[in-house]
Amino acid sequence: MNTIQLAIPDVVVFEPRVYRDERGFFFESFNQRTFEEAIGAHAAFVQDNHTCSSKHVLRGLHYQIRRPQGKLIRVTSGIVFDVAVDIRESSPTFGQWVGEILSADNKKQIWIPEGFAHGFVVLSDQAEVLYKTTDYWAPEHERCIIWNDATLGIEWPIEGPLRLSAKDAQGVAFLSAEVFT
């Protein structure tokens, strides 16, 4: 498995070695030892989530202010542009974002550690996204930063109208958001 640190070094992309032949393909989708060596820490996953969304659905930018979740994200069908925003006030990359195309074809996964807001937009007709989390969903601690915050300046690769949930459409501005100290 190839590991790639993005411009924010705590966010890591995992690119598996895919073995293909006339029968199909095989790849190792997760290896605890490789994962922990790449992130430089121990992480235990407690919950798996699976979402299916149609084209131009944007989910995010979500995080939990207490009981924060690290997330390991992959796409099993379709294509998404996945984004991580550093909201750790003490971090040298506070307020910066990184994005990566994840697809069923490239089979990449992205690790988004605790202390980051996360979101994605669907670029294909439909996409299924699976992600593991390091803590349980705690709706009372969930927060949302508005997807198009001018301070963050995320360059979403989208054309046409977006489809947002009511909760995501009412996300707060980055400068007003609760962040990690």
Active site residues: 62, 131
Is residue 154 within 8 A of residue 171, CB to CB? The reply is no
Query: 64 vs 4, 41, 72, 108, 115, CA distance in Å?
Result: 26, 20, 15, 24, 8
Q: Rounded to whole angstroms, how far apart are CA atoms 69 and 135?
A: 5
CB-CB neighbours of 150 under 10 Å? 10
Which residue is it, tokens 């601690």? 141
Partners of 3 in beta bridges? 14
